[in-house]
A = this chain, B = another copy of it.
Amino acid sequence: MTEQQPTSLRERQKEDRKARIIAAAKSLFLEAGLEKITMEAIAEIAGVSSVTVHNYYGTKSGVLLALVAESDRELLATLERGLRARGETLTDRVLGFFEIVCRHTQTHLDKAIWRQVIAASVSGTEPRFGKLYHELDNRLASVLIREVERMVGAGILPETVDPAHLGWALFNLQNARFIEFIAADGSSCEAGLQHLRNDLNALMPGGFPGR
């Protein structure tokens, strides 16, 4: 994530502490369940006081969001790459998007963590939090928007299509199924794909809007 300009000593120390904190959180998460992640435990491993963790990340969910955000760049790269290897209908692209996000989630983090993060983003107690989370959403939605733009440019979709509107609509649709996927430990990526396929077929019978 493009570090640069190691300005003052103070700022370097702060960056270092922050890094230690999320490293501590990650290590705790790897060796035990979410229950084991207490702010005290994180603080102790990171070598700071628990108040400092709060000051940096606001809430426990804030720390978890940092974990989520870490794998964000990687997810975006995988998306850009993986989306091309799909069918040529818009439906295929959205399904591909969903599948990549789900698999990435399964590989990199626990559903329980995502639940906490999403819940916190909705409850909106922490102002910083909502902003950060919304940025992630924006970046993800942008992938779909660019995909629509590309298809309009290639003449696959008519000029009348507004890429931003269609992209966001598709993202929201997909996101609803992602949340469903996250919500229950039992629900599989395949089930989510099937549901999303049904959604898209119902709204866009031919694989494209307004056909």
Q: How large is the interface on A (under 10, 10 to 19, 20 to 34, 35 or more residues)?
A: 35 or more
Quick one: CB contact mask for A178-196 with B, threshold 8 Å, 1 for yes? 0100111000000000010
- Knowing A168-B199, A177-B172, A199-B172 touch, does A160 contact B205 (C-beta < 8 A)? yes
A162's contact among B123, B165, B198, by CB below 8 Å, is which?
A: B198
In Å, the complex CA distance between A120 and B116 comes to 9
Are B124 and A122 in touch, CB under 8 angstroms? no
Query: Nearest residue in B to A130 (C-beta to C-beta)?
Result: B183
Question: Which residue of chain B is the closest to A90 with respect to CB atoms?
Answer: B203
Known: A175-B176, A210-B211, A211-B210. A169 touches B115 (CB 8 A): no
- Given A124-B184, A211-B210, verify A172-B173 contact (CB < 8 Å): yes
B172 with A176: CB separation less than 8 A: yes
**A202 touches which one: B120, B166, B183, B201 (CB < 8 A)?**
B166
Give Cα distance in the complex from A211 to B184, angstroms. Answer: 36
Check A58 for interface membership: any CB of B closer than 8 A.
Answer: no
**Shortest Cβ gap from A166 to chain B (Å):** 4
**Alpha-carbon gap, A166 to B183, bound state (A):** 22
**When chains A and B are docked, how far (Å) is the Cα of A118 from the Cα of B168?**
21
Give complex CA distance A175, B161 in Å. 23
Chain A residues in the interface with B (C-beta under 8 A): 115-116, 118-120, 122-124, 130, 160-162, 165-166, 168-170, 172-173, 175-177, 179, 182-184, 195, 198-206, 209-211
22 A-B residue contacts at CB 8 Å? Answer: A118-B123, A122-B179, A124-B183, A124-B184, A130-B183, A162-B198, A162-B202, A165-B201, A168-B195, A168-B198, A169-B173, A169-B198, A169-B199, A169-B200, A169-B203, A172-B172, A172-B177, A175-B176, A203-B203, A204-B209, A205-B209, A210-B210
Having A165-B202, A168-B195, one finds 20 other A-B pairs with CB under 8 Å, namely A115-B124, A118-B123, A119-B119, A122-B182, A122-B183, A124-B183, A124-B184, A162-B202, A165-B198, A165-B201, A169-B200, A169-B202, A169-B203, A172-B177, A172-B199, A175-B176, A176-B176, A205-B210, A210-B211, A211-B211
